[in-house]
Amino acid sequence: MIRIPALAGLVLVLAPPLAPADDFHVTSPDLQSGGTISREFVYARSGCTGANRSPALEWSGSPEGTQSFAITVHDPDAPRVGGWWHWVVHDIPADVQSLPTGASGHDMPAGAVQTKTSFGARGYGGPCPPPGDRPHRYVFTVYALGTRTLDVPAGADPAAVADVIAHHAIGSAAITARYGR
């Protein structure tokens, strides 16, 4: 028989619970969950003719212990192993609860770090699936992190940075929208 010391059980009972997933939300005036992404947020190269602006994101209900936020935009339907990373941002201060439309280009919070995407550049790169593919899903995820900063090399692969983000996540919320051409 395994015995658990009484004090250990007490610590488990008294430990503050993490915020339930239902409490942490992300919304956007620019995106509708399940909806189609507007041309304003579509990539502006490789045959795509969008404005390549990052959409506004707003979040609330972050778990207790949140020290910073991270954002990823991922296309799991891309014809590439591991999908395609369209935006990877970390070290967003814990007091920030939103990013405005176009933030990637000029209005990021102090301290926020935009890392390399699958396009090979830093900052937001909008949807641009291959012509003729069925519409792809684009998952916009905001992560609440239990650390203020991430220690990742400047040129790190976006999937590797996403793994580090997931390792430090204490909560997440997402919006999935679609785009095809």
For 45-50, what is the mean pLDDT? 92
pLDDT at 13: 36
- With cut-offs at 50, 70 and 90, classify the pLDDT of residue 96: very high
Whole-number pLDDT of residue 22: 64
Compare 43 and 107 and report the one with higher pLDDT: 43
Which pLDDT score is estimated for 15? 36
Provide the pLDDT for residue 38: 97
Question: Of the given ranges (10-14, 16-20, 34-38, 77-81), which has the lowest mean pLDDT?
Answer: 10-14
Strand partners, 99: 57
For 109-141, what is each residue's pLDDT tens digit? Answer: 999 999 999 999 999 999 999 999 999 999 999
Distance CA 31, CA 99 (A): 13
Q: Where are the domains of the chain?
A: 17-179
Model confidence at 21, pLDDT cuts 50, 70, 90, reads low
Burial-class residue 139 by CB neighbours within 10 Å (0-12, 13-18, 19+): middle
Give every strand in the sheet of 84-93, ordered side by side.
113-114, 84-93, 68-75, 136-145, 169-179
**Does residue 4 register a pLDDT over 80?**
no
pTM of the model: 0.87
Taken as a whole, the chain contains a residue count of 181
Q: Please, are residues 39 and 50 in contact by the beta-carbon 8 Å criterion?
A: yes
Q: Tell me what the mean pLDDT of segment 1-28 comes to.
A: 52
| Percent of the chain predicted with pLDDT > 70 | 88
Residue 29 has pLDDT above 80, yes or no: yes
**Which CATH code for domain 17-179?**
3.90.280.10
Query: Could you tell me which of 29, 113, 107 has the C-alpha nearest to residue 69?
Result: 113
Q: Within 10 A of 100 (CB to CB), how many other CB atoms are there?
A: 15
Between the alpha carbon of residue 114 and those of residues 85, 107, 121, the distances in Å are: 12, 12, 9
Mean pLDDT of the chain: 89
**One-character DSSP codes across 3-72:** ---HHHHHHHHHSPPPPPGGG-EEE-SS--TTSBPPGGGS-SSTT-----PPPPEEEE-PPTT--EEEEE
Q: Is the pLDDT of residue 10 over 70?
A: no
The residue with tokens 């990877």 is 88
Specify the DSSP class assigned to residue 2. -
Inter-residue contact 141 to 174 (CB < 8 Å): yes
User: In this model, does residue 12 exceed pLDDT 70?
Assistant: no
